[in-house]
Amino acid sequence: MVKGLFIAWEKGFKRIEVECDNALL
């Protein structure tokens, strides 16, 4: 359960990071 939660968090973090990069551009 914890591992799955970490994977979901990592995916969400990467998605937010991409959105921030797009906002800067």
pLDDT of amino acid 10: 92
Residue with tokens 């995916």: 11
pLDDT of amino acid 22: 86
Q: Using one digit for the tens of pLDDT, what is the confidence trace for 1-25?
A: 789 989 999 999 999 998 888 888 7
pLDDT of amino acid 1: 78
Strand (E) or helix (H) holding 25: none
Residues 21 and 23: their CA atoms lie apart, in Å, by 5
**Both tokens assigned to 13:** 């973090």
Q: Which domain holds residue 15?
A: 1-25
pLDDT of amino acid 11: 92
Rg of the chain over CA atoms, in angstroms?
11
Residues 16 and 12: their CA atoms lie apart, in Å, by 6
* Number of separate domains in the chain: 1
